[in-house]
Chains A and B, each alone.
Chain A
Amino acid sequence: MQELTEFLEREWVQNKNLDPGQEWKVLLEGILEGIQEGFALVDGEGKKIFVNEQFCRQTGFTREELLHKRPPFDYWPEEERKEIESVFRGVIGRDGAQKSYRFRFMRKSGERYSVMVTPGNLTVNNANRQGSFALVQDMTDLDRFEESMHSALEREKELSVLKSNLIRALSHEFRTPLAVILNSADLIDQIKMNPDSEKSMIICTESLEKIRTQVERLVDILNGIEILGMNREILSAEVQVLAEGDSLVESLKEELLSQREEAKNSNTIPLKHLTDEKGEEDG
């Protein structure tokens, strides 16, 4: 930036007349067309006297549409105009401003896009400011990248929550049947010590039945988990958040049945996600 400023100041001295068509303009164009960023130069009055091709491409305006204009410029969107203008006035009102600003500019089509503007002032021989320029970097790609990174991070966080929820739900689904089994066994123990009534025998029979039922339930859960375990992507997939009160066993059973059906039809191991409502399969 410093080198660019010095270069421009040198050119300014050698080419005092800023009229387009002069040699300085050819030289500037040669250099400034080669840079990646948009470049715009204004005179001491704030009138646009040079823009490079990249700047025209960014904004969608032709050079003719941009040159000789004074602020507010057409690419300043209405909603940001006040803020941009205030920075613009601040920059051309003082020397040595070396700071970058994030704005949203507007293309000719009306589309807003994000830019990083780095303004600078030109002073010649320590005299008063002769003009100002700005490097304008189109941040659209960077914004998209940041957005995708943000989405990826959000997804990672969501996935982490989903994993925790899945583990919590699994723990819950195991602990409840285990509690039934343990309590039923304890109950049988108690009855064994007082086996005197018919009711005791009924409770004992019921408890044994409960133990068998709960073991089957646990086996169902394990079968479901094993099938899901075949899907190598299960831990990176969109696993359904099991709402409190939902039955994991039922979800797993449904999933198991649907995957068995698909496997039967396709003779392949299905890789369908728990929440794949569209029924799409992952390769």
Chain B
Amino acid sequence: MERNTLLLVEDSEDLRASLSAGLQFSGFEVMEVCDGVEALKLLRSSPVEVSLIITDLMMPKMDGWELITQIRKDSNLNKIPVLILTALTANTYRDELMLKGANAYLQKPIRLITLVKKIQTLLESQKR
């Protein structure tokens, strides 16, 4: 069965590593970057098709808000679902992020199983 490739955008190296390992164990291919600038660079140059982007919000260089804006403006990338995984209070930013084009919003810390379920739901709704 083909494994979906996820792009994980997270500036905390430890969290990036543990999430990446957990997602790989859960059956995904994972590419990792530490900020929005690197994410855009990778998305625009990688030959691998990214199925879903998981991104933090507060990051150096380019934050998650700007990353979503750039992704939604790019006709080659704007169909990719974006899942926000952030330490910021969910209720405060959820509506704003949804308006910007995010597809889901989860607040840290979160169980791996919850994250995986959310990813699967988004990927399935993307197929439909």
Q: Do B109 and A245 touch (CB < 8 A)?
A: no
Residues of A within 8 A of B25 (CB): 187, 190-191, 194
Chain A's nearest CB lies how many Å from the CB of B84? 13
User: Considering the complex, which residues of chain A in the window 118-174 have a beta carbon less than 8 Å from any beta carbon of chain B?
Assistant: 168, 171-174
The B contact surface, by secondary structure, is: loop
Chain B's nearest CB lies how many Å from the CB of A204? 10
Q: At the interface, yes or no: B98 with Cβ under 8 Å from chain A?
A: no
Q: How far is the CA of A171 from the CA of B87 in the complex (A)?
A: 7
Q: At the interface, yes or no: B108 with Cβ under 8 Å from chain A?
A: yes
> Size of chain B's interface in residues, with CB distance under 8 A?
25
Q: At the interface, yes or no: A62 with Cβ under 8 Å from chain B?
A: no
Q: Do A186 and B112 touch (CB < 8 A)?
A: yes
User: Considering the complex, which residues of chain A in the window 171-205 have a beta carbon less than 8 Å from any beta carbon of chain B?
Assistant: 171-184, 186-187, 190-191, 194, 203
> Size of chain A's interface in residues, with CB distance under 8 A?
28
Q: Do A203 and B21 touch (CB < 8 A)?
A: yes
- Given contacts A179-B15, A190-B22, A244 and B109 within 8 Å (CB-CB): no
Q: How far is the CA of A177 from the CA of B21 in the complex (A)?
A: 16
| 23 cross-chain CB contacts under 8 A | A168-B88, A171-B89, A172-B58, A173-B87, A174-B87, A176-B15, A179-B87, A179-B109, A182-B112, A183-B22, A183-B112, A186-B22, A186-B112, A187-B25, A187-B112, A203-B21, A206-B21, A210-B17, A210-B18, A214-B14, A244-B60, A244-B63, A245-B60
Which residues of B line the A interface, CB within 8 A? 11-12, 14-15, 17-19, 21-22, 25-26, 58-60, 63, 87-89, 107-113
Query: Which 8 pairs from chain A and chain B are nearest by CB?
Result: A175-B87, A186-B112, A179-B108, A179-B109, A178-B109, A245-B60, A172-B87, A183-B18
Which residues of A line the B interface, CB within 8 A? 168, 171-184, 186-187, 190-191, 194, 203, 206-207, 210, 213-214, 244-245
